[in-house]
Structures are given as C-alpha cells and as structure tokens.
Chains A and B, each alone.
Chain A
Amino acid sequence: MKAPCIAVSGLHRGENPQPGAGIVRSLRRRFPDAHIVGLSYDVMESGIYVENGPDEAHLMPYPTAGGAALLDRIDSIRKRTPFDLFIPTLDSEIEVFSGLSDQLIQRGIRTCLPKVEVLKRRAKQHLPALVETCGVRIPETRIVPDLQAAYRAAGELGYPLVVKGPFYEAKIVHNMAQLTAAASHLLAEWGHPLILQGFVSGSEFNVLGVGDGAGGWFGHCCLRKTQLSDKGKGLSGITVNDSRLSNLCADLIRELKWPGPFEIELIREESTDDYMLIEINPRFPAWVDFPSMLGVNFAALLVDMLQLDRVPEPLPSCKPGSFYIRHQIEVVGDINRYAGLLKGESDPLVDLIDETLTSIPAEVLP
C-alpha cells in the first residue's frame, strides 16, 4: 500500500501547545513511511524543527485572510507535494475549512470536518441550546454583545465568574474592575459575543474521541487534569474510567452526529458531583499523543477513516491510572530552514540557503 501523504497544521508546542506536533508523533508510530507536510502559520512553530517532525513545512496565510487565500496557498504547496489527506487542528482554521469542504473534495483532498451548521451548534455561545436537547448541565451562562451588557449579566450571575471570548481564552474575574479589563481585552482580541458563566469549583476532565458522523464514535479516552498552568492548560493528566462521564459525552456526540476528532471539556462540580459541560472543541487536543503512547492511536484511526473509505475498527479503551506529564525540551533550529520558510519556500531546501540568508533583514531574525 502506498505510504500516505498527510498535511498537518498547528505545530507549535510550548506554553500553549497546539495539537499538530502530537498528531505527527502519533502518525509516525503507525505510519513510519508517511510523508508529512507541516502547514504553519509562523516560522517559529517549534514542531517544525523537532526530530522526526514533518518532512517538509510551509507557511500558510492566517485563516483571517479568508478561504480563497488558504486555497491558493494549498494549491501552490500541492504543486510541489500533492498531499491527499489533511488534518487541520486549530479552531480558527477549522471554522474556515469547514465551509470549504466542497473545494477540498474537488481538489482530491480528504479531510474530516463537520458541516458548518454542526460546527456552529457546539460553539460556546450555542451550548445552552445544545444541552437542552440532551440533558447535560452547563454553568449558568449569559451571552452578551458588549461591555454594558456584560455588567448587567455580572449583576445577575454574581462574582466570581468566568468571561470567555467566542474562540479562545477564558478569565476568572472577581469584581467589576477585573471584568472590565478581561472583557475589553477579549472583545479587542476575538470580537463579540462575550460569554459569561457562573464560576464552577471542581476538578477538570477532558474527553478525546473520534466521531463516526452517524451518532457513534470509534473510541474515546477520558482523563482528569491533575496540574494546570496559570493559563488553565493541562500540564498533567491521568486516565479515568467513569461510565457517567462516558455516557454524557456519548449523548452529546449522538445529538451532534459528530464526524471526526473532538475534545469535550467538563468540570465535576464539587458541591453536587455533577459534570458541567464547559466546551466542545472540534479537533484533537494537544495531548492527543498520550493515548497513542498507550496503544490507542486516534490520529492513525483518523487516517484509516480518510484513507481507506471504510469503517475502521473501534479503538480499545485506555486503562485508567496512566498519566502524562508535559515535558518541555529545547529543539534545535537552523537559520537556513528558518530563512527558507520565511521566504515562503518549502523546507528543508538547503540549496536555498545562501541566497535567502542574505535577503533577510536583520530585524526579523530571532
């Protein structure tokens, strides 16, 4: 069988890691001969430079540039390397690529993206409507367009509360001054609406899986976050096996008929012991390679789905009690590779080096 040629985006690790580098590691375990094409939004994405990382990397325009710009860039990359499978990993690009499904199919690129309307149903601002259909609890929520409405909502909810942007970031605020700062920042950074939620105290749980698009899933892995960074990112986690948690997530996936990768974030409320739904992410999480190290390879399963056009074998459960700890290391970059990428050239292309190095203004070098 021909080795797959797979494009993966979101390769940065570090303080706020993206899923792509973990996906590449998982794919390498199962498909050592795969040709992996990294699609990066920044030349400083650390996953470009890791050992056994992507075979080549290319800079992409930001998703805010729009669908046409992304497709143009993909067309130009595929002239050099005609990848046929694509795993997008960032919320902002999934939003755009989901609306480009037909164009991707026309180009012979297989990917697994939810339809725009399904994607919308799991967006933070639409979760209250979603949970009404499947009996899952969420923290008390207000969706507001601006700061004045945020003050009114805070008056109803009381402090502390959590204020979130529509795509990224969540901040806990304890008073009006903190709300003003957080809401202003989120509106400036991500636009409206703002999502305000009552603060829920309890342990955080994440569930990773791959939906079959018909209401079921090919497998899932539940973990409890055991250490959080000051940005609320999981620095460590341990696998658990709670049928109540699994059933609740299965209900959500059934309701959405979710196709492809997902991560569901929940908090188990201390006072009631109930799980509260916080977020449904339309992609693999940054810890996707952890279950793959336990023999439960979700990224490889996705490639099976895409490559073979047949129903893959469901994955086994992850045994409870295995844990991960996020471990940061330095990776070595080469200014020549950096230069090639900065020029919009493919990487690695060592023969470009002398020419590109001399053409880079000193102020853009790291």
Chain B
Amino acid sequence: MTTTLDNLLLNDRGIAFDPVSGETYRLIGPAVHLVRLLQNGADDEALLHYLLTEYEVDEATARRDLDVFLGMLEQMKLWEARS
C-alpha cells in the first residue's frame, strides 16, 4: 500500500517535503535513514538492526525508541503500521 511516507521527497540534510499536502518536515539523527529504509520497504526488524549496528544502544532501548518513532509517524498520518 502506498503511504504518504512513500511519496515524501527527502534530501540528505533531513528536509522532507510531502508533494501532495505541501507539508515540510525536518528529520534529525537516525530518522533520515529510518525513513529511507521504510520507503524501500524495510520491516521493523531491519530498522532495529540498523539502529543496533549504527548506534551504541542496547536492544530494549532501540526497540522502545523505534516504537516511539513509528508511533509519531502514524500520528502524523505519514505511516500506517503493517498488519
């Protein structure tokens, strides 16, 4: 299913633009890469793997932060959790 996130235009400086709504977002830290991964169809485990590989963080913290991040995307109507 195509979500708003799939259509986001994202640059390397973390500026994301939704060409349909005209909304602009600023992504910081790992969010840029996480959004890119989501746009390429990555699942939650792939996202978690990215966080554990790239950042010095334990799995429980990474999982919690990832849930918060995906929850924010859902709240902003940019993303729908896969069933």
Q: Is the interface of B mostly helix, strand, loop or mixed?
A: loop
Q: Is the interface of A mostly helix, strand, loop or mixed?
A: strand
Interface 0/1 of A189-213, CB less than 8 Å to B? 0000000000000010100000000
Complex interface: chain A residues within 8 A of B79 (CB): none
Interface 0/1 of B8-34, CB less than 8 Å to A? 010000000101111010000000000
B21 touches A321 (CB 8 A): no
B17 touches A320 (CB 8 A): yes
Complex interface: chain A residues within 8 A of B21 (CB): 203, 224, 240, 242, 268
Within A225-250, the residues touching B (CB, 8 Å) are: 226, 238-242
B17 touches A242 (CB 8 A): no
Nearest CB of chain A from residue B10's CB, rounded to whole Å:
11
Query: In the complex, what distance in Å separates the CA atom of A238 from the CA atom of B23?
Result: 9
Query: In the complex, what distance in Å separates the CA atom of A203 from the CA atom of B23?
Result: 10
Nearest CB of chain A from residue B47's CB, rounded to whole Å:
26
Query: In the complex, what distance in Å separates the CA atom of A239 from the CA atom of B21?
Result: 10
A223 within 8 A of B: yes
Query: In the complex, what distance in Å separates the CA atom of A240 from the CA atom of B20?
Result: 5
Query: In the complex, what distance in Å separates the CA atom of A205 from the CA atom of B19?
Result: 13
Q: How many positions in chain A have a CB within 8 Å of any CB in the partner chain?
A: 13
Query: In the complex, what distance in Å separates the CA atom of A223 from the CA atom of B19?
Result: 10
Complex interface: chain B residues within 8 A of A238 (CB): 17, 22, 24
Query: In the complex, what distance in Å separates the CA atom of A226 from the CA atom of B22?
Result: 8
Within B31-67, the residues touching A (CB, 8 Å) are: none
Query: In the complex, what distance in Å separates the CA atom of A239 from the CA atom of B22?
Result: 7
Complex interface: chain A residues within 8 A of B17 (CB): 238, 320-321
Least CB separation from A237: chain B residue? B22
User: Interface centre among B17, B20, B22, B24, by most A CB within 10 Å?
Assistant: B22
User: Interface centre among B9, B20, B24, by most A CB within 10 Å?
Assistant: B20
Complex interface: chain A residues within 8 A of B19 (CB): 240-242, 320-321
Least CB separation from A238: chain B residue? B22
Within A282-310, the residues touching B (CB, 8 Å) are: none
Nearest CB of chain B from residue A27's CB, rounded to whole Å:
28
Query: In the complex, what distance in Å separates the CA atom of A223 from the CA atom of B17?
Result: 13
Query: In the complex, what distance in Å separates the CA atom of A239 from the CA atom of B17?
Result: 11
Query: In the complex, what distance in Å separates the CA atom of A165 from the CA atom of B21?
Result: 30
Query: In the complex, what distance in Å separates the CA atom of A268 from the CA atom of B18?
Result: 15
Least CB separation from A273: chain B residue? B77
Complex interface: chain B residues within 8 A of A241 (CB): 19-20
Nearest CB of chain B from residue A346's CB, rounded to whole Å:
44
Complex interface: chain B residues within 8 A of A242 (CB): 19-21
Complex interface: chain A residues within 8 A of B22 (CB): 203, 205, 223-224, 226, 238-240, 320
Least CB separation from B17: chain A residue? A321
Complex interface: chain A residues within 8 A of B24 (CB): 238
Query: In the complex, what distance in Å separates the CA atom of A224 from the CA atom of B20?
Result: 10
Least CB separation from A205: chain B residue? B22
Nearest CB of chain A from residue B29's CB, rounded to whole Å:
23
Query: In the complex, what distance in Å separates the CA atom of A242 from the CA atom of B23?
Result: 12
Complex interface: chain B residues within 8 A of A239 (CB): 22
Complex interface: chain B residues within 8 A of A205 (CB): 22
Query: In the complex, what distance in Å separates the CA atom of A85 from the CA atom of B61?
Result: 69
Complex interface: chain A residues within 8 A of B20 (CB): 240-242, 320
Query: In the complex, what distance in Å separates the CA atom of A223 from the CA atom of B22?
Result: 8
Complex interface: chain B residues within 8 A of A240 (CB): 19-22
Interface 0/1 of A171-204, CB less than 8 Å to B? 0000000000000000000000000000000010
Nearest CB of chain B from residue A210's CB, rounded to whole Å:
22
The 3 closest A-B pairs by CB, nearest first: A224-B22, A320-B19, A240-B22
A→B interface (CB under 8 Å): 203, 205, 223-224, 226, 238-242, 268, 320-321
Could you give 9 example pairs across A and B, Cβ below 8 Å? A203-B22, A205-B22, A238-B17, A240-B21, A241-B20, A242-B20, A320-B17, A320-B19, A321-B9
Contacts A203-B21, A238-B17 known; 11 new A-B pairs at CB < 8 A: A224-B21, A224-B22, A226-B22, A242-B19, A268-B21, A320-B9, A320-B17, A320-B19, A320-B20, A320-B22, A321-B9
B→A interface (CB under 8 Å): 9, 17, 19-22, 24
